[in-house]
Structure 1
Amino acid sequence: MGTVAALYRYPVKSMLGEAVIAVTVTENGLSGDRIYAVLDETGAVGSAKHPRKWGALLRCRSRFDDSGMVRVVLPDGTALPVEDPDLDVELSKLLGRQVSISAVVPEHSRLERAVPEYEGGVPETVRESAVVDSTGASITSGGVAPGTFFDFGQVHLVTTASLARMRTVYPAGDFDARRFRPNLVVDTDSGTGFPEDAWLGSRLRVGEALFRVVVPTPRCVIPTLGHDELPPDPGIMRAVAREHRIPVFDLGRLSCLGVYLDVLEAGTVRVGDVITLQEAA
Protein backbone atom coordinates (compact mmCIF):
# COMPACT_ATOMS: atom_id res chain seq x y z
CA MET A 1 0.00 0.00 0.00
CA GLY A 2 3.00 2.29 0.24
CA THR A 3 6.48 2.98 1.52
CA VAL A 4 8.13 5.28 4.05
CA ALA A 5 9.14 8.40 2.11
CA ALA A 6 10.59 10.36 5.04
CA LEU A 7 11.17 10.14 8.79
CA TYR A 8 11.36 13.11 11.15
CA ARG A 9 11.88 13.60 14.85
CA TYR A 10 11.81 16.76 16.95
CA PRO A 11 14.03 16.44 20.04
CA VAL A 12 12.71 19.73 21.49
CA LYS A 13 8.99 20.36 21.26
CA SER A 14 7.96 23.06 18.76
CA MET A 15 11.46 23.55 17.38
CA LEU A 16 12.44 22.46 13.90
CA GLY A 17 13.63 18.88 13.96
CA GLU A 18 15.75 16.59 11.85
CA ALA A 19 15.21 14.13 9.02
CA VAL A 20 16.63 10.66 9.66
CA ILE A 21 17.17 7.63 7.45
CA ALA A 22 16.40 5.11 10.19
CA VAL A 23 15.05 5.35 13.71
CA THR A 24 14.27 3.06 16.61
CA VAL A 25 10.62 3.02 17.60
CA THR A 26 10.02 2.31 21.28
CA GLU A 27 6.76 1.77 23.13
CA ASN A 28 6.74 5.55 23.69
CA GLY A 29 7.22 6.61 20.07
CA LEU A 30 10.27 7.46 17.96
CA SER A 31 13.48 7.42 19.96
CA GLY A 32 14.53 10.99 20.67
CA ASP A 33 11.23 12.60 19.72
CA ARG A 34 9.93 15.45 21.93
CA ILE A 35 12.13 14.47 24.83
CA TYR A 36 12.68 18.12 25.81
CA ALA A 37 10.45 21.18 25.98
CA VAL A 38 10.86 24.84 26.83
CA LEU A 39 8.94 25.86 29.97
CA ASP A 40 8.15 29.24 31.44
CA GLU A 41 7.62 30.29 35.04
CA THR A 42 3.83 29.95 34.78
CA GLY A 43 4.09 26.23 34.07
CA ALA A 44 3.25 26.56 30.38
CA VAL A 45 4.87 24.10 27.98
CA GLY A 46 6.32 25.91 24.99
CA SER A 47 4.20 25.25 21.92
CA ALA A 48 4.02 27.18 18.67
CA LYS A 49 0.30 26.46 18.76
CA HIS A 50 0.30 29.82 20.56
CA PRO A 51 2.40 31.71 17.99
CA ARG A 52 2.39 35.12 19.67
CA LYS A 53 3.90 33.61 22.80
CA TRP A 54 6.00 30.73 21.50
CA GLY A 55 6.27 31.10 17.73
CA ALA A 56 9.97 32.05 17.90
CA LEU A 57 10.75 28.44 18.85
CA LEU A 58 10.20 27.54 15.19
CA ARG A 59 13.24 29.65 14.37
CA CYS A 60 15.38 27.19 16.34
CA ARG A 61 16.39 23.69 15.32
CA SER A 62 16.97 20.72 17.63
CA ARG A 63 19.07 17.76 16.53
CA PHE A 64 21.30 15.01 17.83
CA ASP A 65 25.04 15.47 17.28
CA ASP A 66 27.51 12.68 16.55
CA SER A 67 27.96 11.98 20.26
CA GLY A 68 24.24 11.44 20.79
CA MET A 69 23.73 14.77 22.57
CA VAL A 70 20.85 17.06 21.66
CA ARG A 71 21.93 20.50 20.48
CA VAL A 72 19.81 23.52 19.73
CA VAL A 73 20.77 25.73 16.82
CA LEU A 74 19.61 29.29 17.54
CA PRO A 75 18.45 31.73 14.84
CA ASP A 76 21.93 33.31 14.64
CA GLY A 77 23.52 29.89 13.98
CA THR A 78 24.91 29.36 17.49
CA ALA A 79 24.62 25.70 18.52
CA LEU A 80 24.41 24.88 22.23
CA PRO A 81 23.85 21.54 23.99
CA VAL A 82 20.63 21.32 25.96
CA GLU A 83 22.59 20.94 29.20
CA ASP A 84 24.38 24.28 28.72
CA PRO A 85 22.89 26.92 31.06
CA ASP A 86 23.66 29.54 28.42
CA LEU A 87 20.91 27.98 26.30
CA ASP A 88 18.28 29.03 28.85
CA VAL A 89 19.71 32.55 28.76
CA GLU A 90 19.58 32.72 24.96
CA LEU A 91 16.08 31.26 24.75
CA SER A 92 14.88 33.74 27.37
CA LYS A 93 16.25 36.59 25.25
CA LEU A 94 14.58 35.15 22.14
CA LEU A 95 11.19 34.82 23.82
CA GLY A 96 11.37 37.97 25.93
CA ARG A 97 10.77 36.31 29.30
CA GLN A 98 12.37 33.79 31.63
CA VAL A 99 12.25 30.26 30.24
CA SER A 100 14.21 27.05 30.66
CA ILE A 101 14.61 23.83 28.74
CA SER A 102 13.71 20.61 30.51
CA ALA A 103 13.33 16.87 30.04
CA VAL A 104 11.00 16.68 33.05
CA VAL A 105 7.30 16.98 32.39
CA PRO A 106 5.74 19.25 35.05
CA GLU A 107 3.07 17.57 37.15
CA HIS A 108 0.56 20.28 36.31
CA SER A 109 1.77 21.25 32.85
CA ARG A 110 -0.32 23.51 30.66
CA LEU A 111 -0.44 23.75 26.87
CA GLU A 112 -1.90 26.87 25.29
CA ARG A 113 -3.45 26.94 21.82
CA ALA A 114 -4.52 29.93 19.76
CA VAL A 115 -8.10 29.68 18.52
CA PRO A 116 -8.29 30.07 14.72
CA GLU A 117 -11.02 32.16 13.16
CA TYR A 118 -12.16 29.53 10.66
CA GLU A 119 -14.65 26.81 11.61
CA GLY A 120 -13.26 23.40 12.39
CA GLY A 121 -10.05 24.67 13.96
CA VAL A 122 -11.24 23.71 17.45
CA PRO A 123 -14.43 22.10 18.80
CA GLU A 124 -17.13 24.72 19.15
CA THR A 125 -17.52 23.95 22.87
CA VAL A 126 -13.84 24.72 23.29
CA ARG A 127 -14.12 27.91 21.26
CA GLU A 128 -16.84 29.11 23.63
CA SER A 129 -14.51 28.71 26.61
CA ALA A 130 -11.58 30.59 25.04
CA VAL A 131 -10.06 33.61 26.80
CA VAL A 132 -7.97 36.51 25.56
CA ASP A 133 -4.54 36.51 27.18
CA SER A 134 -1.94 39.22 27.65
CA THR A 135 -0.72 38.86 24.05
CA GLY A 136 -4.19 39.73 22.74
CA ALA A 137 -4.70 36.23 21.35
CA SER A 138 -7.80 34.15 21.96
CA ILE A 139 -6.53 30.92 23.49
CA THR A 140 -7.60 27.71 25.14
CA SER A 141 -5.57 25.69 27.62
CA GLY A 142 -5.20 21.98 28.17
CA GLY A 143 -2.65 19.39 29.18
CA VAL A 144 -0.08 17.33 27.32
CA ALA A 145 -0.38 13.55 27.09
CA PRO A 146 0.37 12.16 30.58
CA GLY A 147 4.06 11.87 31.32
CA THR A 148 5.14 13.16 27.90
CA PHE A 149 5.51 16.33 25.86
CA PHE A 150 3.23 14.95 23.13
CA ASP A 151 -0.04 16.74 22.46
CA PHE A 152 -1.86 13.43 22.04
CA GLY A 153 -0.58 10.55 19.89
CA GLN A 154 2.84 8.94 20.15
CA VAL A 155 3.48 9.02 16.39
CA HIS A 156 2.11 11.26 13.65
CA LEU A 157 1.72 10.12 10.04
CA VAL A 158 0.80 11.99 6.86
CA THR A 159 0.43 10.61 3.35
CA THR A 160 1.64 11.97 0.04
CA ALA A 161 -1.89 11.41 -1.27
CA SER A 162 -3.43 13.83 1.23
CA LEU A 163 -0.80 16.46 0.48
CA ALA A 164 -1.39 16.01 -3.25
CA ARG A 165 -5.14 16.40 -2.76
CA MET A 166 -4.64 19.66 -0.89
CA ARG A 167 -2.43 21.01 -3.68
CA THR A 168 -5.36 20.62 -6.06
CA VAL A 169 -7.62 22.48 -3.63
CA TYR A 170 -5.18 25.34 -3.01
CA PRO A 171 -2.59 25.41 -5.81
CA ALA A 172 -0.97 28.58 -4.45
CA GLY A 173 -0.09 26.84 -1.20
CA ASP A 174 3.12 24.93 -0.54
CA PHE A 175 1.95 21.70 1.07
CA ASP A 176 5.43 20.57 2.05
CA ALA A 177 5.05 17.76 4.58
CA ARG A 178 7.30 19.59 7.03
CA ARG A 179 4.56 22.15 7.70
CA PHE A 180 2.55 19.40 9.39
CA ARG A 181 5.44 18.14 11.57
CA PRO A 182 4.97 14.42 10.89
CA ASN A 183 7.10 11.58 12.12
CA LEU A 184 6.30 9.39 9.13
CA VAL A 185 5.56 10.52 5.59
CA VAL A 186 4.00 7.66 3.62
CA ASP A 187 4.19 7.52 -0.16
CA THR A 188 0.93 5.92 -1.21
CA ASP A 189 2.22 5.32 -4.74
CA SER A 190 -0.48 7.04 -6.77
CA GLY A 191 -3.79 8.84 -6.62
CA THR A 192 -5.04 11.64 -4.45
CA GLY A 193 -7.43 11.74 -1.56
CA PHE A 194 -7.26 10.98 2.13
CA PRO A 195 -6.58 7.22 2.27
CA GLU A 196 -5.66 7.31 5.95
CA ASP A 197 -9.32 8.06 6.80
CA ALA A 198 -10.06 4.40 6.05
CA TRP A 199 -7.26 3.12 8.28
CA LEU A 200 -8.77 4.10 11.63
CA GLY A 201 -8.65 1.17 14.03
CA SER A 202 -6.38 -0.81 11.71
CA ARG A 203 -2.79 -1.86 12.26
CA LEU A 204 0.17 -0.74 10.18
CA ARG A 205 3.28 -2.85 9.88
CA VAL A 206 6.13 -0.45 9.12
CA GLY A 207 9.53 -2.10 8.96
CA GLU A 208 10.00 -3.92 12.26
CA ALA A 209 7.42 -1.82 14.11
CA LEU A 210 3.68 -2.30 14.41
CA PHE A 211 1.29 0.60 14.96
CA ARG A 212 -2.43 1.06 15.55
CA VAL A 213 -4.15 3.95 13.79
CA VAL A 214 -6.01 5.79 16.55
CA VAL A 215 -7.59 9.01 15.33
CA PRO A 216 -7.39 11.68 12.61
CA THR A 217 -5.01 14.53 13.46
CA PRO A 218 -6.86 17.80 14.13
CA ARG A 219 -4.80 20.66 12.77
CA CYS A 220 -3.91 23.88 14.56
CA VAL A 221 -2.25 27.06 13.31
CA ILE A 222 1.27 25.60 13.06
CA PRO A 223 1.08 24.61 9.35
CA THR A 224 0.37 28.26 8.53
CA LEU A 225 3.58 29.48 10.17
CA GLY A 226 7.03 29.84 8.62
CA HIS A 227 9.14 26.66 8.82
CA ASP A 228 12.78 27.03 7.87
CA GLU A 229 12.66 28.32 4.27
CA LEU A 230 8.88 27.77 4.01
CA PRO A 231 7.09 31.13 4.34
CA PRO A 232 3.98 31.79 6.46
CA ASP A 233 0.73 31.06 4.64
CA PRO A 234 -2.61 31.45 6.48
CA GLY A 235 -4.37 29.97 3.44
CA ILE A 236 -2.98 26.51 4.20
CA MET A 237 -5.34 25.73 7.06
CA ARG A 238 -8.29 27.58 5.58
CA ALA A 239 -7.98 25.21 2.63
CA VAL A 240 -7.85 22.16 4.90
CA ALA A 241 -10.89 23.46 6.79
CA ARG A 242 -12.84 23.80 3.53
CA GLU A 243 -11.83 20.42 2.15
CA HIS A 244 -11.42 17.99 5.03
CA ARG A 245 -13.47 18.41 8.17
CA ILE A 246 -14.24 15.01 9.64
CA PRO A 247 -15.56 13.64 12.97
CA VAL A 248 -13.01 13.30 15.78
CA PHE A 249 -14.21 11.37 18.83
CA ASP A 250 -17.17 13.35 20.22
CA LEU A 251 -15.63 16.73 19.40
CA GLY A 252 -17.50 17.32 16.15
CA ARG A 253 -16.14 17.77 12.64
CA LEU A 254 -12.60 19.17 12.78
CA SER A 255 -10.04 20.20 10.16
CA CYS A 256 -7.76 17.18 9.89
CA LEU A 257 -4.77 16.01 7.90
CA GLY A 258 -2.89 12.87 8.88
CA VAL A 259 -3.46 10.37 11.67
CA TYR A 260 -2.07 9.63 15.12
CA LEU A 261 -0.63 6.18 15.82
CA ASP A 262 0.02 4.17 18.95
CA VAL A 263 2.95 1.76 19.10
CA LEU A 264 2.03 -1.92 19.45
CA GLU A 265 5.45 -3.44 18.72
CA ALA A 266 8.82 -1.71 18.93
CA GLY A 267 11.47 -1.99 16.23
CA THR A 268 13.50 -0.10 13.65
CA VAL A 269 11.86 1.84 10.83
CA ARG A 270 13.79 2.97 7.77
CA VAL A 271 13.11 5.20 4.79
CA GLY A 272 11.98 2.89 1.98
CA ASP A 273 10.33 0.35 4.26
CA VAL A 274 7.18 -1.20 2.86
CA ILE A 275 3.98 -0.50 4.78
CA THR A 276 1.36 -3.22 5.20
CA LEU A 277 -2.18 -2.55 6.37
CA GLN A 278 -3.73 -5.11 8.69
CA GLU A 279 -7.45 -4.90 9.34
CA ALA A 280 -8.60 -4.35 12.90
CA ALA A 281 -9.01 -7.56 14.86
Structure 2
Amino acid sequence: MGNNTEFVGTIKDIRRFPVKSILGESLSSISIDKRGLIGDRLWAIKDMNGKFGSGKTTRRFQQMDGLFKYKARYEGTAPILTMPDGAEYWGDDVAVNETLTKLLGFPVTLTREESISHFDEGPISIITTSSLRILSQELGEPVDPRRLRANFLIDTELTGSLEKDWVDRLIKVGPNVILKVVAPLERCVMVNNSQEELNQDNRVLRNLVNNHDASFGVWAKVEVSGKVNDGDKVFLE
Protein backbone atom coordinates (compact mmCIF):
# COMPACT_ATOMS: atom_id res chain seq x y z
CA MET A 1 0.00 0.00 0.00
CA GLY A 2 1.23 3.49 -0.77
CA ASN A 3 1.11 6.67 1.29
CA ASN A 4 -2.24 7.82 -0.15
CA THR A 5 -4.39 5.64 2.06
CA GLU A 6 -7.74 6.44 3.62
CA PHE A 7 -9.02 4.97 6.86
CA VAL A 8 -12.54 3.66 6.27
CA GLY A 9 -13.41 1.71 9.42
CA THR A 10 -12.85 -1.46 11.41
CA ILE A 11 -13.86 -5.09 11.11
CA LYS A 12 -17.06 -5.53 13.13
CA ASP A 13 -18.03 -9.08 12.17
CA ILE A 14 -16.32 -12.04 10.51
CA ARG A 15 -18.49 -14.83 9.15
CA ARG A 16 -17.51 -18.11 7.57
CA PHE A 17 -19.88 -20.51 5.84
CA PRO A 18 -18.35 -24.01 5.82
CA VAL A 19 -21.13 -25.32 3.56
CA LYS A 20 -22.40 -23.24 0.67
CA SER A 21 -25.89 -21.75 1.07
CA ILE A 22 -26.56 -22.88 4.64
CA LEU A 23 -25.97 -20.98 7.87
CA GLY A 24 -22.42 -20.58 9.12
CA GLU A 25 -20.41 -19.32 12.06
CA SER A 26 -19.25 -16.00 13.51
CA LEU A 27 -15.53 -15.83 14.28
CA SER A 28 -13.20 -13.51 16.16
CA SER A 29 -10.33 -14.15 13.73
CA ILE A 30 -9.64 -16.00 10.50
CA SER A 31 -6.68 -16.87 8.30
CA ILE A 32 -6.92 -16.02 4.62
CA ASP A 33 -5.18 -17.54 1.62
CA LYS A 34 -5.57 -16.96 -2.11
CA ARG A 35 -8.84 -18.90 -2.15
CA GLY A 36 -10.37 -16.69 0.54
CA LEU A 37 -11.26 -17.37 4.17
CA ILE A 38 -9.83 -20.76 5.11
CA GLY A 39 -12.65 -23.29 4.80
CA ASP A 40 -15.28 -20.84 3.56
CA ARG A 41 -17.86 -22.55 1.34
CA LEU A 42 -15.39 -25.40 0.93
CA TRP A 43 -18.26 -27.90 1.11
CA ALA A 44 -21.58 -27.98 -0.71
CA ILE A 45 -24.70 -30.11 -0.96
CA LYS A 46 -24.61 -31.72 -4.42
CA ASP A 47 -27.50 -33.34 -6.27
CA MET A 48 -27.34 -36.27 -8.68
CA ASN A 49 -26.88 -33.89 -11.63
CA GLY A 50 -23.70 -32.52 -10.09
CA LYS A 51 -25.24 -29.17 -9.19
CA PHE A 52 -24.66 -27.49 -5.84
CA GLY A 53 -27.47 -26.46 -3.51
CA SER A 54 -28.20 -22.74 -3.71
CA GLY A 55 -30.92 -20.12 -3.62
CA LYS A 56 -30.97 -19.99 -7.40
CA THR A 57 -30.69 -22.31 -10.39
CA THR A 58 -27.82 -21.71 -12.83
CA ARG A 59 -25.37 -23.81 -14.82
CA ARG A 60 -23.53 -24.73 -11.59
CA PHE A 61 -26.24 -24.34 -8.95
CA GLN A 62 -29.63 -25.84 -8.15
CA GLN A 63 -32.20 -24.06 -6.04
CA MET A 64 -33.02 -26.09 -2.94
CA ASP A 65 -35.68 -24.96 -0.50
CA GLY A 66 -35.12 -24.73 3.24
CA LEU A 67 -31.31 -24.61 3.28
CA PHE A 68 -31.29 -22.00 6.04
CA LYS A 69 -32.75 -24.64 8.37
CA TYR A 70 -29.26 -26.19 8.42
CA LYS A 71 -26.12 -24.81 10.02
CA ALA A 72 -22.42 -25.68 9.89
CA ARG A 73 -19.31 -24.97 11.91
CA TYR A 74 -15.79 -26.34 11.87
CA GLU A 75 -14.12 -28.48 14.48
CA GLY A 76 -10.93 -29.60 12.80
CA THR A 77 -10.84 -30.04 9.03
CA ALA A 78 -14.39 -31.27 8.52
CA PRO A 79 -17.57 -29.31 9.23
CA ILE A 80 -20.21 -30.34 11.71
CA LEU A 81 -23.73 -29.95 10.34
CA THR A 82 -26.66 -29.17 12.62
CA MET A 83 -29.98 -30.43 11.29
CA PRO A 84 -33.37 -28.72 11.83
CA ASP A 85 -34.08 -31.00 14.81
CA GLY A 86 -30.72 -30.18 16.44
CA ALA A 87 -29.02 -33.47 15.53
CA GLU A 88 -25.37 -33.09 14.51
CA TYR A 89 -23.31 -34.97 11.93
CA TRP A 90 -19.71 -34.79 10.85
CA GLY A 91 -19.46 -33.64 7.24
CA ASP A 92 -17.21 -36.55 6.26
CA ASP A 93 -19.56 -39.18 7.76
CA VAL A 94 -21.69 -41.03 5.19
CA ALA A 95 -24.63 -40.73 7.60
CA VAL A 96 -24.86 -37.04 6.77
CA ASN A 97 -25.71 -37.90 3.15
CA GLU A 98 -28.48 -40.28 4.20
CA THR A 99 -29.95 -37.69 6.55
CA LEU A 100 -29.80 -34.79 4.07
CA THR A 101 -31.33 -36.99 1.36
CA LYS A 102 -34.21 -37.92 3.64
CA LEU A 103 -34.85 -34.36 4.82
CA LEU A 104 -34.56 -32.69 1.40
CA GLY A 105 -36.55 -35.41 -0.34
CA PHE A 106 -34.12 -36.24 -3.15
CA PRO A 107 -30.63 -37.80 -3.39
CA VAL A 108 -27.77 -35.52 -2.35
CA THR A 109 -24.24 -35.78 -1.04
CA LEU A 110 -22.14 -33.38 0.98
CA THR A 111 -18.99 -32.87 -1.07
CA ARG A 112 -15.73 -30.99 -0.71
CA GLU A 113 -14.80 -28.52 -3.44
CA GLU A 114 -12.83 -29.98 -6.33
CA SER A 115 -12.42 -28.43 -9.79
CA ILE A 116 -15.67 -26.41 -9.82
CA SER A 117 -15.79 -23.41 -7.48
CA HIS A 118 -18.54 -23.17 -4.88
CA PHE A 119 -18.41 -19.36 -4.86
CA ASP A 120 -21.23 -17.49 -6.57
CA GLU A 121 -18.95 -14.72 -7.79
CA GLY A 122 -15.70 -14.45 -5.86
CA PRO A 123 -13.76 -15.42 -2.74
CA ILE A 124 -14.58 -12.69 -0.21
CA SER A 125 -17.77 -10.69 0.30
CA ILE A 126 -17.76 -7.31 2.05
CA ILE A 127 -20.49 -4.99 3.33
CA THR A 128 -20.38 -1.81 5.45
CA THR A 129 -22.55 -0.42 8.21
CA SER A 130 -23.00 2.65 6.01
CA SER A 131 -24.74 0.66 3.28
CA LEU A 132 -26.76 -1.18 5.93
CA ARG A 133 -27.98 2.15 7.28
CA ILE A 134 -29.17 3.15 3.81
CA LEU A 135 -31.00 -0.14 3.30
CA SER A 136 -32.55 0.11 6.76
CA GLN A 137 -33.80 3.63 6.03
CA GLU A 138 -35.32 2.47 2.75
CA LEU A 139 -37.15 -0.40 4.45
CA GLY A 140 -38.14 1.63 7.49
CA GLU A 141 -36.55 -0.71 10.03
CA PRO A 142 -33.11 -2.08 10.91
CA VAL A 143 -31.78 -4.76 8.55
CA ASP A 144 -29.86 -7.54 10.26
CA PRO A 145 -26.49 -7.99 8.49
CA ARG A 146 -26.90 -11.77 8.67
CA ARG A 147 -29.37 -11.49 5.77
CA LEU A 148 -26.50 -10.40 3.51
CA ARG A 149 -24.21 -13.33 4.42
CA ALA A 150 -21.01 -11.30 4.07
CA ASN A 151 -17.62 -12.53 5.19
CA PHE A 152 -16.68 -9.09 6.51
CA LEU A 153 -18.85 -6.35 7.97
CA ILE A 154 -16.91 -3.09 8.18
CA ASP A 155 -18.05 -0.60 10.81
CA THR A 156 -17.65 2.92 9.45
CA GLU A 157 -18.68 6.47 10.29
CA LEU A 158 -18.56 7.40 6.61
CA THR A 159 -21.80 7.75 4.67
CA GLY A 160 -23.18 6.47 1.38
CA SER A 161 -22.88 3.15 -0.44
CA LEU A 162 -19.12 3.16 0.00
CA GLU A 163 -18.37 -0.25 -1.45
CA LYS A 164 -19.49 0.69 -4.96
CA ASP A 165 -16.67 3.23 -5.11
CA TRP A 166 -14.09 0.64 -4.10
CA VAL A 167 -14.27 -1.42 -7.30
CA ASP A 168 -10.80 -1.89 -8.84
CA ARG A 169 -9.14 -0.52 -5.70
CA LEU A 170 -7.11 -2.17 -2.97
CA ILE A 171 -8.08 -2.38 0.67
CA LYS A 172 -5.76 -3.35 3.50
CA VAL A 173 -7.26 -5.24 6.43
CA GLY A 174 -5.19 -5.48 9.58
CA PRO A 175 -1.39 -5.62 9.42
CA ASN A 176 -0.95 -7.69 6.25
CA VAL A 177 -4.04 -8.74 4.30
CA ILE A 178 -4.59 -6.89 1.03
CA LEU A 179 -7.72 -7.41 -1.05
CA LYS A 180 -8.64 -6.13 -4.49
CA VAL A 181 -12.30 -5.22 -4.86
CA VAL A 182 -13.57 -6.68 -8.13
CA ALA A 183 -17.28 -5.94 -8.53
CA PRO A 184 -20.60 -5.26 -6.79
CA LEU A 185 -22.16 -8.39 -5.31
CA GLU A 186 -25.35 -9.40 -7.10
CA ARG A 187 -28.10 -10.67 -4.84
CA CYS A 188 -30.72 -13.41 -5.10
CA VAL A 189 -33.84 -14.43 -3.20
CA MET A 190 -31.82 -15.75 -0.27
CA VAL A 191 -31.64 -12.25 1.25
CA ASN A 192 -35.40 -12.54 1.83
CA ASN A 193 -35.37 -15.94 3.46
CA SER A 194 -36.08 -16.59 7.11
CA GLN A 195 -33.17 -17.78 9.20
CA GLU A 196 -33.14 -18.53 12.91
CA GLU A 197 -35.16 -15.68 14.50
CA LEU A 198 -35.25 -13.54 11.32
CA ASN A 199 -38.60 -13.70 9.53
CA GLN A 200 -39.18 -13.99 5.79
CA ASP A 201 -39.07 -10.49 4.25
CA ASN A 202 -39.70 -10.27 0.52
CA ARG A 203 -39.12 -6.52 0.55
CA VAL A 204 -35.37 -6.88 0.80
CA LEU A 205 -34.59 -8.22 -2.68
CA ARG A 206 -37.35 -6.11 -4.24
CA ASN A 207 -35.77 -2.99 -2.78
CA LEU A 208 -32.31 -3.99 -3.98
CA VAL A 209 -33.66 -4.60 -7.49
CA ASN A 210 -35.52 -1.29 -7.58
CA ASN A 211 -32.88 0.92 -5.97
CA HIS A 212 -29.49 -0.79 -6.16
CA ASP A 213 -29.33 -2.79 -9.41
CA ALA A 214 -29.99 -5.98 -7.41
CA SER A 215 -26.61 -5.66 -5.69
CA PHE A 216 -25.43 -5.07 -2.15
CA GLY A 217 -21.82 -5.03 -1.02
CA VAL A 218 -18.85 -6.11 -3.12
CA TRP A 219 -16.70 -9.13 -3.66
CA ALA A 220 -12.92 -9.12 -3.59
CA LYS A 221 -9.99 -11.35 -4.41
CA VAL A 222 -6.92 -11.85 -2.26
CA GLU A 223 -3.71 -10.08 -3.22
CA VAL A 224 -1.78 -10.74 0.01
CA SER A 225 -2.68 -13.51 2.45
CA GLY A 226 -2.64 -13.24 6.23
CA LYS A 227 -4.92 -13.09 9.25
CA VAL A 228 -7.90 -10.86 10.00
CA ASN A 229 -9.21 -10.15 13.50
CA ASP A 230 -12.28 -8.45 14.90
CA GLY A 231 -11.45 -4.77 15.34
CA ASP A 232 -8.76 -4.68 12.64
CA LYS A 233 -8.51 -1.35 10.87
CA VAL A 234 -9.40 -1.15 7.19
CA PHE A 235 -7.68 1.24 4.80
CA LEU A 236 -8.49 2.08 1.18
CA GLU A 237 -5.84 2.85 -1.40
What is the TM-score with the length of structure 1 in the denominator?
0.77
| Structure-2 separation of matches of 1:194 and 1:53 | 29
1:159 and 2:128 matched: yes
Task: Indicate if the aligned counterparts of 1:205 and 1:277 stay in contact, CA closer than 8 A.
Answer: yes
1:271 and 2:223 matched: no
| Structure-2 separation of matches of 1:21 and 1:238 | 32
Q: Equivalent residue for 2:38?
A: 31
| Structure-2 separation of matches of 1:152 and 1:166 | 22
Tell me the amino acid that sits aligned with residue 103 of structure 1: R
| Structure-2 separation of matches of 1:238 and 1:168 | 15
Deviation at 1:190, TM superposition (A): 4.3
Structure 2 counterparts to residues 148-227 of structure 1, below 5 A: 148-172=117-141, 174-191=142-159, 193-207=160-174, 208-227=176-195
Tell me the amino acid that sits aligned with residue 71 of structure 1: I
Deviation at 1:68, TM superposition (A): 4.6
Tell me the amino acid that sits aligned with residue 63 of structure 1: R
Ranges of 4+ aligned residues in structure 1 off by more than 3 Å: none
Match of 1:12 among 13, 19, 29: 19
Q: Equivalent residue for 2:5?
A: none
Q: 1:215 to 1:222 in 2, by over 3 A?
A: same
1:95 and 2:101 matched: no
Task: Indicate if the aligned counterparts of 1:56 and 1:94 stay in contact, CA closer than 8 A.
Answer: no
Tell me the amino acid that sits aligned with residue 203 of structure 1: L
Q: Equivalent residue for 1:76?
A: 85
Task: Indicate if the aligned counterparts of 1:169 and 1:243 stay in contact, CA closer than 8 A.
Answer: no
Task: Indicate if the aligned counterparts of 1:6 and 1:184 stay in contact, CA closer than 8 A.
Answer: yes
| Structure-1 separation of matches of 2:22 and 2:225 | 25
Q: What do the CA deviations read for 1:14-47 (whole angstroms, capped 9, x no partner)? A: 1100000000010110001011001111111111
Deviation at 1:188, TM superposition (A): 1.4
Question: SS state of the match for residue 153, structure 1?
Answer: coil
Task: Give the RMSD, CA atoms, in angstroms.
Answer: 1.6
Q: Which runs of 5+ in 1 are unaligned?
A: 108-146, 246-254
| Structure-1 separation of matches of 2:99 and 2:128 | 36
| Structure-1 separation of matches of 2:34 and 2:113 | 18
Deviation at 1:189, TM superposition (A): 2.0
Task: Indicate if the aligned counterparts of 1:92 and 1:98 stay in contact, CA closer than 8 A.
Answer: yes
Q: What do the CA deviations read for 1:155-183 (whole angstroms, capped 9, x no partner)? A: 000111111001111114x5111111100
Aligned residues: 226
Q: Equivalent residue for 1:241?
A: 209
Tell me the amino acid that sits aligned with residue 56 of structure 1: G
Structure 2 counterparts to residues 7-156 of structure 1, below 5 A: 7-49=14-56, 53-65=63-75, 67-105=76-114, 147-156=116-125
Question: SS state of the match for residue 34, structure 1?
Answer: coil
Q: What do the CA deviations read for 1:51-87 (whole angstroms, capped 9, x no partner)? A: x94122211001012x453100000001110011111
Task: Indicate if the aligned counterparts of 1:23 and 1:269 stay in contact, CA closer than 8 A.
Answer: yes
Question: SS state of the match for residue 46, structure 1?
Answer: strand
Question: SS state of the match for residue 16, structure 1?
Answer: coil
Task: Indicate if the aligned counterparts of 1:204 and 1:275 stay in contact, CA closer than 8 A.
Answer: yes
